[in-house]
Each structure stands twice: as structure tokens, then as C-alpha cells.
A and B are shown apart, each in its own frame.
Chain A
Amino acid sequence: MTSEEVAKVALLARLRLTEAEKVKYAEQLSLILEFIAELGETDTEGVEPLAHGVDRTNVFREDKAYPALDREKALANAPKRSAEGFLVPAVLD
């Protein structure tokens, strides 16, 4: 992995990295990916991917309304808020 690739991934992951971090992560992630490449030794022809250890699909429950989180409680941890919502930097000019 090159530091250019790291920069691209960092943008996708919404992480600001310093130049020094890009170099360090390029080196460390390359080593980890090299290790992970051993997965290529396995024969997975015709093997179904397994996303969950315990197979369980379509869990249904009664379509019943429950009280939602109180607005004041939901807003209590907001880094920036108004009386009724979360505030973020302007999205549109």
C-alpha cells in the first residue's frame, strides 16, 4: 500500500492524516495485508460466505409502536444544537 492509496482510503473513511501518519500507515497496513494474503492459500471454491456465526434470518416481532427516545434526551449529548435539532456546518452555500 502506498501513501497515496492511504490518502485515498483516509478520505473515504473521513480521517484527516498528517504526512507522517500516511507514511507510517502505508508501512503498517502493507505488513498486515501481506499477512492477510495467506487467505489466498485456502480453497474456497463453492464455499458460501458466512456473515454470522449463528444462522438466524428474518426475526419478526409484532408491529407495535413503542415510545421513542425523548427529544431532549436525544439532544443532550449534541456537540452543537438548537432548541429542537442538531447543528452542523452549512451543507449548502
Chain B
Amino acid sequence: MSLTSLTATETVAGIKSGKFSAEEVAKAFLERTAKLKHLNIYVHLEPEVVLNQARGVDSRLKAGENVGPLAGLPVAIKDLICVEGEPTTCGSRMLQGFRPPYNATVIEKLKAAGAVLYGKANMDEFAMGSSTENSCYGPSLNPWDPTRIPGGSSGGSAAAVAAMTAPVSLGSDTGGSIRQPAALCGLVGLKPTYGRVSRYGLIAFASSLDQIGPFTWNVPDMALLMEAISGGDDRDATSIPEAVPAYSSEIEKRPEKLRIGVVREFFGEGLDPEVAAAVQETIKVYQKLGAEIKEVSLPHSKYGIAAYYIVAPAEASSNLARYDGTLFGHRAKDYSPANDAEKELPALVRMMMATRAEGFGAEVKRRIMLGTYALSAGYADQYYNKALKVRRLIRNDFEKAFAEVDFLIGPTTPTPAFRLGEKAANPLAMYLSDIYTITTNLAGIPGLSMPCGLSSEGLPIGVQLVGPALSETALLQAARLYERETDWHTRRPNLTV
């Protein structure tokens, strides 16, 4: 058994019991990472920084200290979570060379739990995308089939775990950016309830939708990580102060109630038949386990993508206004007028315009413009306010459904991983790959994707469980119940190193 194929729970237990050291674990992952460079998973990784943290854990253990629940566990970090003094670039030219002056709250929590921060994982620029193809570093490749994308925007975080270059990772999910890549890479991915995990130090894309969450091989690892990173935070006024349940010790229990709603709208046109079949099989497993299965309807879910592509770009256009070449990040060297119209503009404005033209990629510009347009005078009511009303209708649908059932079930994605370049020229087609995940962000509720099959081409398929706000314990219990009956979570890609 090699150290890189262990689960997080096994890794921590092995380090704590002295079976192997944190340094040996870190070295094993670093060696494997070096051999898998072609997958383009990490945008920043300094072996010495990783090894020093691991050695620190080992010496503290030797001194008899209680290092914490994640003692020596390497955790790969999506490139938009601030780590003090380490490059944090959001996959963007705009933030080349940026080193945050402080740690995100989740980073402080990981450190306090004894984790080893392991490299910054690739992502779509500013988390806008579903394939990592929008990264200024080029796409990451799917470890199950390197001709395909790993999903996005947290594609690097997913590929990091799937390729066994890290035992777990953190990503962020604004419309599906954890669950979609988790599904396409054969992992468990959780988008927690909005506010369950502090967003302090998470570089903002759409503040009312963004949420940090982990990628793991199985549910016990997910519980371990969630317990470490959740909790209220004075520095994030939208975080939820309620106490964090002891997820790890709760997950083996059967959920109190097991009424599962099959979302009618999630089995319509555009769903790959193999994905549909795998999800139907999952439902059968739950039925055998004694679940009550019921069809439910979310009639406004079909407007989810449209509402999202107003709300998210509107918030992004405001959040990304800070990248103007003034305080940090890129500044254009030449901002002399590019045409006659620009001659009328003050030098400061031209500096900002040239900086943003050079620093942002095509998709980020597209969304900034969409959001600016949707908020501009004369259009705000037609677009932004309308989208917020539809957002309430979408949440009302969920509330109605949760009056009848405890969980919702459906596919995480319409298809398994698509090929590199397949959707790159068509923004709308790319947006539609988040069709089943996007509504939970709008409603603020948690969603979990877990592996439930392999396609005839050997590509992972994910099933999504959705619960009401703060139902993480029950959601993890329901997922664990399925996991104990099946072995999809033990499948690993065939990667020659």
C-alpha cells in the first residue's frame, strides 16, 4: 500500500500512531506530483515549504503534543484562498506576483488542526468557468482521461485528489464549482450551506453565492475536513454562528428520516443516458436501504441558469472593480490613448482600462460586462431585480419540496467529463453544464456530489444529494449509508507514473 493511495482518515491515523511520519507522507506526494506535472494541477508548489510544515508536525508529535485532527495531512488549496506570503493568483494574469498579507480563516483553521498546506491548485480565472480552460496557466487535465477537462472552476483541486497528488483539497463553489469537478473526477465534493464556512480570505467572485468546501475520496474524510473548517467568524458577517456538529462521529448513524425526493426536472432533455441510469441505480440502492422514494417538482429550476447569469455577473462586476492597477496586482505600463475617444479620458482612467484589458481573460471580461449591463441605469429593474425575484421563487420551490422529503436526489452533471476545447467557443453551452448544481447556490442550501458509477468509456459519474439549510450532518449520513453499500468511492484512475 503506497502512502499516496490512503484516505485522509488513514493518513492521519498512520501519522499519529507513528506508522509513518508526516515528512514521509509529504515526500511521497511531492514525488508523485513531480511525475504528474503534465496534468498541470498546481500553479504554485514549493516542496521545501511543504516539507518544513511536515517536519514541524513530526517534532511536535515526538514531543507528545496534541497536534490536532488533521495532524500531518497535506491539503491542496484552490488558488483563490489567501495564504499569507504565498502566491495567490485566482488563475489570473491580474494577480501575478500577489502575495496576500493575511491568511483566510479556513487556512488558520487548517493550520490549527495540524494540516500541511500543500500547493495552490489551478482553476478557471476568478472561478468563472466549468473546465479550468479559462485559467491563465492553461487547463488542468482529467486524471481519468487526459484528453478531457477535470471540470471547474475548482478543476485543479479535484484533479489534485483524483491523481493522488494530495489526499484532500479545498475548492469553492459559486454555481457548482466543487460538485461538478468532484463528479467528473470520481470524488466526494460538498458545497456547504451558505455561511457554514467563513469566506474571510476567499477572493470574492459572487459574494451571496460563494462557499468554500472540500474534495475527498469518501464521506468519513469529508466529515473530518468539514469539522475542521466550519464555524462562525467575526470577520465574515454572513457566516453562521451555530455550533459545528461532530460530523465525524455522527456519520455512521442512519439519518433520522430518509424520505428522498427525485427531482422530476433533473431527468429531462440533455441528460446523458448513462448518467441517468447510474443515478437510477443509486435510487434503487436507497430504496433497498428502506428509503421512501417520492417524485418531487422544482418548477422554477429551469430558470436557474438565467437567474444565476444575472446575479453572479452583477456581483462579480462590483467585486472585480478593485482590480484597477492601484493597490495591488497588475498595472499596465503603457496607457497612452488607444484611440481618439480615449484622449478625452483622464490618465488614471486610461491606466485602469488598459490594466484591466491586459489582466483579465475573455470570460472574466464577458461576465464583468454582462453584470455591468444588468446593473446599469434603465436595465437594473428588467434584469437584476427580476433575477432576485426569480431567486426567491427558486428557494420557495425547495422549501415546498423539503416539507415533503428530507433529501433531494439527481445527477450532479448532465454528462461525464467533456473533451478539452469541446465547449470553449460556446459560453452558453459551458454555462449549461452547471444546470443541476446552480439552484442550490441561489437558495443557499447544501449539496453533495458522490461517485455512483463509471461510463462505458470509464469516466466517473456523480450523484447529487441536496438538503435544507444546515442539514450537513444528515446529508453526510445519507451519503455514508450509500457508500457502505457500494464501492464506487474506492475506484481510482489508471495513471502511469
B331 lies within 8 A of chain A by Cβ:
yes
A16 touches B356 (CB 8 A): yes
Tell me the interface secondary structure of chain A in the complex: loop
B195 touches A54 (CB 8 A): yes
Q: In angstroms, how far is the closest chain B Cβ from the Cβ of A54?
A: 4
Binary CB contact string for chain B from 299 to 310 against chain A (1 if under 8 A, 0 otherwise): 010010111011
Interface-centre pick from A39, A40, A74 (highest chain B CB count, 10 A): A39
B158 lies within 8 A of chain A by Cβ:
no
> A77-B328, A86-B327 known; A49 and B373 CB under 8 Å?
no
Tell me the interface secondary structure of chain B in the complex: helix
B238 lies within 8 A of chain A by Cβ:
yes
Binary CB contact string for chain B from 231 to 265 against chain A (1 if under 8 A, 0 otherwise): 00010011010000000000000000000000000
Q: Which residues of A contact B389 (CB under 8 A)?
A: 42, 44, 47-50
- How many residue pairs bridge A and B at CB < 8 Å? 167
8 Å CB interface, A73-89 against B:
73-74, 76-80, 86, 88-89
A36 touches B329 (CB 8 A): no
**Complex alpha-carbon distance, A52 and B209, angstroms:** 8
B194 touches A53 (CB 8 A): yes
B444 lies within 8 A of chain A by Cβ:
yes
B347 lies within 8 A of chain A by Cβ:
yes
Give the interface residue-count category, chain A. 35 or more
**Complex alpha-carbon distance, A20 and B101, angstroms:** 39
> A39-B306, A52-B194, A80-B331 known; A12 and B372 CB under 8 Å?
yes
A32 touches B352 (CB 8 A): no
A29 touches B373 (CB 8 A): yes
B368 lies within 8 A of chain A by Cβ:
yes
> A6-B369, A9-B373 known; A74 and B208 CB under 8 Å?
no
B3 lies within 8 A of chain A by Cβ:
no
A39 touches B99 (CB 8 A): no
A91 lies within 8 A of chain B by Cβ:
yes
**Complex alpha-carbon distance, A15 and B367, angstroms:** 12
**Which 4 residue pairs across A and B have the least CB separation, nearest first?**
A53-B444, A49-B388, A79-B331, A77-B328
Sample (19) of A-B pairs whose CB atoms are under 8 Å apart: A11-B353, A14-B352, A15-B357, A15-B365, A16-B356, A29-B369, A35-B305, A38-B303, A44-B390, A48-B392, A49-B389, A49-B392, A59-B237, A77-B97, A77-B101, A79-B328, A79-B330, A80-B331, A86-B326
Apart from the given pairs A49-B388, A79-B328, A79-B331, 7 other A-B contacts in the complex at a CB distance below 8 Å: A29-B370, A33-B370, A35-B309, A38-B303, A52-B208, A53-B441, A78-B327
